[in-house]
Amino acid sequence: MTKRSILAEAWFGRGRALQRLRRAEEAVAAYRQALAHGGDAEIVIYYLASLGAEPPPTAAPRQLVAEVFDQYADHYDEHLLGPLKYHTPGLLFDAVVRSVPARSDLQVLDLGCGTGLMGARLRALARTLIGVDLSSRMLKVARQRQVYDDLVCSELTEYLRTRSQAFDLVMASDVLVYFGDLAEVLGAVRGTLTEGGLFGFSVEAGDNHDFELKPTRRYTHSGAYLRRVAQDQGFLAETIESKVTREEDGKELMGYLAVLRAP
């Protein structure tokens, strides 16, 4: 490692620590120093954007998402189901089941499947259940559940483009919080669904903008934006409902649960 990259990592680490302490101005200054010393521009600018110091990109950097969840994999379930009181998989599954035909032989895709919390529920509906995730270590945990027919390490839009009209049901629980502009993702999902197929997904709720990158480094989306982008990509909205999906710093976090149909 060069002296330049060591300095960049040191400033970046300081910025992250200051951001956790909610010392935003100091964090921004540290990230600027990381950039000046050769830090990864895509990742550093994403962190700056989360503090309002740069325009937000359309999605989180792939490398960052993969690294974060590789590090998180071994304690992901314990953290989400314990301190965060994570309800999203169960709530989203219940929302989708209301629109699923009375059959259990569906071709099902679990996007951003993580450790398989959603897959364990989807198995009852699926003839074939495929999980896709960027994090190889999350997939290693998911494999231990023995509920998937196949697990694929891939960026989700790239995978979707290889599977035309292949699935009756696509699910994305707590995945699209790492995408701002949802047009590309929804368009790719639309292409992989069979006629009448369903797409169920969750996002964190925001109302002031179509989408906004927060200091948590996750995007929020407005209900109006979800309805508009769904229509633009050729979906019919079965339901878009607001629910408490988990807790953040001891406070209830609101999300949207969306179920869209490919007509």
Per residue in 114-139, pLDDT (tens digit) is 999 999 999 999 999 999 999 999 99
Helical spans, DSSP H, in 37-182: 41-50, 62-72, 76-81, 88-97, 119-122, 136-145, 156-160
Looking at per-residue pLDDT, the higher value among 248 and 111 belongs to: 111
Residue 145, judged by CB atoms within 10 A of its CB (0-12, 13-18, 19+), counts as middle
Q: Which pLDDT score is estimated for 4?
A: 53
Q: Using 50, 70 and 90 to split pLDDT, how confident is the model at 208? A: confident
What pLDDT digit, counting tens, does each position of 85-103 carry? Answer: 778 889 999 999 999 876 7
Q: Using 50, 70 and 90 to split pLDDT, how confident is the model at 80? A: low
Q: What is the mean pLDDT of the chain?
A: 92
Q: What's the first-to-final CA gap in the chain, in angstroms?
A: 54
**Residues contacting 67, CB < 8 A, separation 6+:** none
Residue 53, judged by CB atoms within 10 A of its CB (0-12, 13-18, 19+), counts as middle
What pLDDT digit, counting tens, does each position of 4-47 carry? Answer: 588 899 999 999 999 999 999 999 999 999 999 999 999 999 99
**Does the pTM of the predicted model rise above 0.75?**
yes
**Residues contacting 162, CB < 8 A, separation 6+:** none
Q: Which pLDDT score is estimated for 81?
A: 63
Looking at per-residue pLDDT, the higher value among 259 and 77 belongs to: 259
Q: Which pLDDT score is estimated for 87?
A: 82
Q: Which pLDDT score is estimated for 1?
A: 44
Residue ranges and CATH numbers for the domains of the chain are 3-55 (no CATH), 75-261 (3.40.50.150)
What pLDDT digit, counting tens, does each position of 143-202 carry? Answer: 999 999 999 999 999 999 999 999 999 999 999 999 999 999 999 999 999 999 999 999
pLDDT at 79 over 90: no
